[in-house]
Amino acid sequence: MELLFASQNEHKRIEMASLLLPHSITLPSEIGIEFSYEETADSFVGNALGKAEHLYNLTHKPSFADDSGLIVDALQGAPGIYSARYGSDLFDHELSAAEKNLFLLKNLEHIPPEQRTARFVCAIALIFTPYQRYIIQEAVEGFIAQHPSGEGGFGYDPIFLVGTGTKAMAQFTDSEKNNISHRALAAQKIASILQDIEQKEIVYVC
C-alpha cells in the first residue's frame, strides 16, 4: 500500500519506510505537492492529526503524520512539543541538534541523576478515508545523561539513556532502535492497523 507521509524530512521518511515495510512511504514533494503545516496544537496527538488531515485534504489519498519529542520531568515537561525548536526563542535562531542537547544539559546541570527522568513520545495519525482515522501514541521511558554518547540516531538520542540502563539511544544500532524506540512502538501498531485494513479489503473483493 502507498502511504503519503506528511513531512519534508527525508531522514524520517527512510526511518518510517523501514518501520512500515512492505508499505511504500512517499513524501508530498515526490508527487509534486508543496506541503507545509504550522504545528499549533498543544499536544503531540493534535499536531500529528492536524498534519495528516491537511495532507489528506490536499490529496484524498491515505496519509499519515507523526509528531514526537522529549519530555523531561525536571524541566516541567520541556522541551515537549517544542522539541524541534528548543532554545530558538532564547538564542534568536534555530539550534542544531548538538546545540539543543548541550542547552538541555546546561539546564539540568544541578539536577542529580535519579531526578533526570524523561521519556520520548511519538504520536502517529493515519487518515485512510474521512471515516477511517486512527491515532496511536507511544513512549519509551529513560533518563537524561550527564553528557552525549554515541554516533547513531539523531536529535536528542545522544543524551537519552534508555530505561534504567546506561546506554544512550544513539549507541543502539538502527535495527536495535527499531525494536525499542517510541516511533517504532507507535509504527508497529499502525502496521497492524494497515494489515487489518488490507485483510478486510481482500475479503470484500472476494
Q: Give the number of domains in the chain.
A: 1
Q: How far apart are CA 31 and CA 155, in angstroms?
A: 28
Q: What is the pLDDT of residue 154?
A: 84
Q: In a 3-state reduction of DSSP, which class is residue 182?
A: helix
Q: By 3-state DSSP, what share of the chain in percent is helix, strand and coil, each rounded to 5? A: 45, 25, 30
Residue in 67, 73, 157, 174 annotated catalytic: 67
Average pLDDT of each block of 10 consecutive residues along the chain (206 residues)? 92 89 94 92 97 96 97 97 92 91 96 97 96 96 96 90 95 90 95 89 49
Range of the domain at 73: 2-205
Nearest CA-CA partner of 43 in 83, 1, 99: 83
Q: What is the pLDDT of residue 174?
A: 85
Q: How far apart are CA 30 and CA 54, in angstroms?
A: 17
Q: How far apart are CA 35 and CA 206, in angstroms?
A: 37
Q: What is the pLDDT of residue 168?
A: 96
Active site residue 174: no
Burial pattern 14-35, b for ≥16 Cβ within 10 A else e, equals ebbbebbeebebbbbeeeeeeb
The cell for 120 is: 520520548
pTM above 0.85, yes or no: yes
Tell me the helices (H) and strands (E) count for the chain, helix number first.
6, 6
Q: What is the CATH number of the domain that holds 197?
A: 3.90.950.10
